[in-house]
């Protein structure tokens, strides 16, 4: 790529590309290629002028050398499914074209031709208004159609043309604002799976998702997201499709049935023959999900919409009375240009979408505006322990082998089993084996995950189980000898433990350090200050471990050794008592409680099924994001209410101006659309500081 350096200083580069103006695609390729480089702090690509500004930490010369060899082709970088830049360019060109046509028409065409064109352009508006009137749907379209029809009937063609043009321009601007908000949100929700288990003749192999082709088979186990569209080749499973279809209950999938990227397996496992590898299919489904989330709009918005719907007949009635009293069609038409519903039906959804998009910039994904509203009024929060209040990256501290089993071999086998099922403790075991260079082949039968208990598989004839103390000793009946009890004392009581049995004998116990996140105390204190009255911790871990974690986190109410249904029942009981409940978790075990809560929040490092069921996902392990989420919800609600008040007040003033002859229909249309756009732009501003 050829360029010249316009300005260079320590940490700053300003470049001019030799090719000049870039297409939206080329600009995106360059932007994302630069963004992928670790030494770059921030970059901006200006497509129209072909200029690039870059802030770098170090290595400016190396960066310039890399740019010399960069080719702006689609295979140079992985692009997102949607381009906000392309959306902006499309709407800019559309608006410029509209303005040019308007200017040329007014300066070059004679008055009779302009009059005919005013009738042609106004006809669709009048037709839509008549259709709503025939169907007894008293909408804003009827009001606009009446204003255009009145202007045409009295021969005021310039006014009719201005009303039509300004209404169309307002619709394009509103559509642009809405589309940009949806695109930003859709990009944040895009599926991000890098590796999958490919089924081969010998064994399952973990490969990059880019290496999968149509016709390949992939295995998806319980708790994981289905990465690609396809047909079930083997297995049976219950698949949660709520993220795409809104269905509350999981759907049974058997061989021959279709499955879709982004859905998650609640129970069972599937081998899927891949049919569709394009990322666009996932994006299209996300767009439909966002559009469907209109049904999940805040109650505040729904209430405002009911109010302004009731005002439409009064607007029409005022116009009729104005004409009867003054016989002035211009005044009546000016009144008809006032649409109280527009600011509410456009600006308030933009406020919600913008808040959801802002949350995504803080590494939070929110699936509907009503969840932000609920978070702002919630009074109870329930935390899972492992991976939520404790670090998302726990560390294996000890592997205690029992009954003559080899310590390294038991860790190797444990990692081989645990890598199939996502959980922070499972990740710790896999990392420990990797750090000790204990590589492994798939040495076992297909593992089965038993919720709240552990994993079962076979190595040869031996049944291998790994999981909780209750699972190993009570459910599996594995004996605990006095010698083994003595060995268990080597593991600190505050550590979490995974027990492994092979062939009915206790083979090893893995002690995992799972320290409380350092920010937990401050976050819980801040949540209480923000209006959360009840903070609860629930865990399947032992009472001793739970007590130690709760004390360090500053939580007084906690429950230990609970099953998934216990968590869900507790949440339901709190809701029955009139409380609004937030549940925060990360595992398959937390899924019932996440679903039962008014708002379920999942940690990104946890199980895929938890993220799919949850209403909010925190990308990362930082609990501080809960404070940001609460702040966004708390500040969105006043903004929604002020949007309703301001929209109604501004349009009332425009109505009065038209009533007293201070505003022509064209000016009333301009002021109405301008006020809506201003409210939209204001509602797109951040609710919380970026630093928060």
**pLDDT tens digits for 243-297?**
555 555 678 898 998 888 777 887 788 999 988 665 444 545 555 555 554 445 5
Please write down the HEC assignment for all residues of 280-334: HHHHHHHHHHHHHHHHHCCHHHHHHHHHHHHHHHHHHHHHHHHHHHHCCHHHHHH
Of the chain, the percentage scoring pLDDT greater than 70 comes to: 82
**pLDDT tens digits for 24-44?**
888 888 888 887 777 887 788
| Percentages (nearest 5) of helix, strand, coil residues in the chain | 50, 20, 30
Q: What is the pLDDT of residue 168?
A: 80
Q: What is the pLDDT of residue 181?
A: 60
**pLDDT tens digits for 203-215?**
788 887 777 888 8
364-390+517-621 matches 3-79 in CATH topology = no
Contacting residues for 146 by C-beta, under 8 A, at least 6 apart: 129, 316, 319, 333, 336
**E strands in 418-548:** 448-450, 454-459, 462-467, 496-502, 505-513, 534-538
Q: What mean pLDDT do residues 40-52 have?
A: 84
> CA 220, CA 483: separation in Å to the nearest integer?
40
195-280: what fold?
Answer: 2.70.150
More confident residue, 473 or 347: 473
Range list of H helices, 532-664: 543-553, 564-576, 591-596, 608-613, 624-659
Scanning the structure block, which residue is given the tokens 């279709």? 258
Q: Lowest-pLDDT range, 262-271, 327-336, 363-372, 517-526?
A: 327-336
- Counting beta carbons within 10 angstroms of the beta carbon of residue 284, is it exposed (0 to 12), middle (13 to 18) or buried (19 or more)? middle
Phi and psi for 598 in degrees, rounded to 5? -60, -40
Per-residue confidence band for 692, with pLDDT thresholds at 50, 70 and 90: very low
CATH 3.30.70.360 is right for the domain spanning 395-513: no
Instruction: Give the best-scoring range by mean pLDDT among 47-61, 303-317, 529-543, 674-688.
Output: 529-543
Tell whether the torsion through CA atoms of 537, 541, 547 and 550 is positive or negative: negative
- Counting beta carbons within 10 angstroms of the beta carbon of residue 48, is it exposed (0 to 12), middle (13 to 18) or buried (19 or more)? exposed
Second CATH level (architecture) for the domain 364-390+517-621: 3-Layer(aba) Sandwich (3.40)
Pick the CATH number of 3-79 from 3.40.640, 3.30.70, 2.30.320, 3.40.50: 3.30.70
CA nearest 540: which of 601, 452, 472?
452
Per-residue confidence band for 523, with pLDDT thresholds at 50, 70 and 90: very high
Residues 553, 571 contacting (CB under 8 angstroms):
no
Q: What is the mean pLDDT of the chain?
A: 81
DSSP assignment, residue 516?
B
| Structural domain boundaries in the chain | 3-79, 88-187+297-351+638-683, 195-280, 364-390+517-621, 395-513
> CA 101, CA 93: separation in Å to the nearest integer?
12
Q: What mean pLDDT do residues 453-479 have?
A: 88
**pLDDT tens digits for 602-628?**
886 655 666 667 888 887 667 888 999
Q: What is the DSSP string of 377-395?
A: H--EEEEEIIIIIB-SS-E
More confident residue, 443 or 331: 331
**pLDDT tens digits for 388-426?**
888 756 789 889 999 889 999 999 999 988 887 766 778
């Amino acid at each position: 790529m050829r360029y010249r350096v316009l300005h260079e200083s320590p940490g700053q580069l300003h470049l001019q590309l030799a090719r000049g103006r870039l297409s939206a695609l080329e600009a995106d390729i360059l932007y994302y290629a630069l963004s992928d480089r670790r030494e770059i702090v921030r970059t901006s690509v200006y497509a129209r002028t072909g200029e690039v500004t870059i802030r770098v930490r170090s290595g400016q010369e190396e960066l310039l050398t890399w740019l010399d060899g960069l080719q702006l082709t689609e295979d140079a970088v992985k692009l997102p499914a949607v381009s906000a830049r392309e959306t902006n360019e499309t709407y800019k060109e559309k608006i410029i074209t509209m303005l040019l046509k308007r200017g040329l028409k007014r300066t070059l065409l004679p008055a009779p031709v302009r009059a005919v064109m005013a009738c042609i352009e106004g006809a669709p508006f009048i037709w839509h208004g008549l259709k709503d009137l025939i169907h007894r749907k008293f909408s804003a379209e009827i009001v606009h159609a009446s204003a255009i029809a009145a202007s045409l009937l009295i021969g005021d063609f310039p006014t009719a043309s201005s009303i039509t043009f300004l209404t169309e321009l307002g619709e394009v601007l509103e559509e642009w604002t809405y589309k940009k908000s949806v695109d930003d949100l859709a990009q944040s929700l895009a599926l991000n799976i890098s590796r999958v288990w490919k089924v081969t003749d010998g064994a399952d192999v973990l490969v990059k998702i880019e290496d999968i082709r149509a016709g390949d088979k992939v295995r998806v186990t319980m708790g994981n997201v289905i990465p690609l569209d396809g047909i079930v080749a083997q297995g049976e499973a219950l698949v949660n499709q709520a993220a795409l279809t809104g269905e509350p209950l999981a759907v049974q999938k058997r061989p021959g049935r279709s499955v879709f990227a982004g859905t998650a397996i609640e129970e069972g496992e599937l081998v899927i023959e891949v049919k569709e590898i394009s990322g666009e299919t996932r994006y299209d489904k996300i767009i439909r999900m966002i559009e469907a989330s209109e049904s999940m709009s805040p109650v505040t918005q729904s209430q405002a919409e009911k109010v302004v719907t009731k005002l439409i007949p009064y607007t029409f009635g005022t116009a009729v009375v104005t004409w009867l009293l003054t016989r002035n069609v211009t005044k009546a038409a000016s009144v008809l240009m006032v649409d109280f519903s527009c600011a509410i039906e456009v600006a308030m959804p933009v406020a919600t979408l913008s808040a959801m998009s802002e949350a995504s910039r803080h590494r939070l994904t929110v699936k509907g505006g009503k969840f932000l509203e609920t978070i702002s009024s919630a009074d109870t929060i329930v935390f899972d322990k492992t991976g939520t209040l404790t670090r998302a990256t726990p560390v294996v501290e000890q592997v205690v082998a029992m009954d003559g089993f080899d310590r390294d071999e038991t860790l190797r086998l444990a990692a081989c089993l645990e890598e199939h099922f996502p959980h922070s403790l499972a990740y710790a075991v896999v990392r420990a084996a990797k750090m000790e260079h204990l590589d492994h082949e798939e040495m076992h039968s297909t593992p089965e995950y038993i919720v709240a208990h552990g994993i079962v598989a076979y190595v040869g004839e031996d049944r291998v189980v790994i999981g909780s103390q209750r699972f190993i000793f009570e459910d599996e009946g594995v004996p605990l000898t006095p010698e083994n009890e003595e060995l268990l004392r080597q593991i600190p009581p505050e550590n979490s433990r995974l027990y492994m049995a092979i062939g009915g004998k206790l083979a090893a116990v893995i002690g995992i350090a799972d320290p409380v996140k350092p920010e937990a105390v401050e976050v819980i204190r801040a949540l209480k200050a923000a209006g959360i009255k009840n903070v609860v911790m629930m865990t399947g871990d032992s009472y001793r471990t739970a007590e130690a974690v709760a004390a360090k986190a500053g939580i007084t109410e906690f429950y230990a050794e609970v099953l998934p249904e216990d968590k869900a029942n507790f949440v339901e009981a709190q809701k029955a008592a009139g409380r609004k409940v937030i549940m925060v978790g990360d595992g398959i075990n937390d899924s019932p409680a996440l679903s039962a809560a008014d708002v379920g929040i999942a940690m990104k490092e946890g199980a895929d099924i938890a993220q799919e069921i949850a209403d909010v996902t925190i990308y990362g392990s930082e609990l501080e994001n809960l404070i940001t989420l609460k702040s966004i919800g708390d500040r969105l609600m006043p903004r929604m209410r002020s949007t309703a008040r301001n929209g109604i007040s501004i349009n009332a003033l425009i109505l009065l101006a038209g009533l007293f002859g201070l505003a022509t229909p064209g000016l009333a249309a301009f002021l109405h659309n301008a006020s809506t756009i201003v409210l939209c732009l204001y509602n797109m501003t951040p609710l919380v500081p970026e630093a928060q």
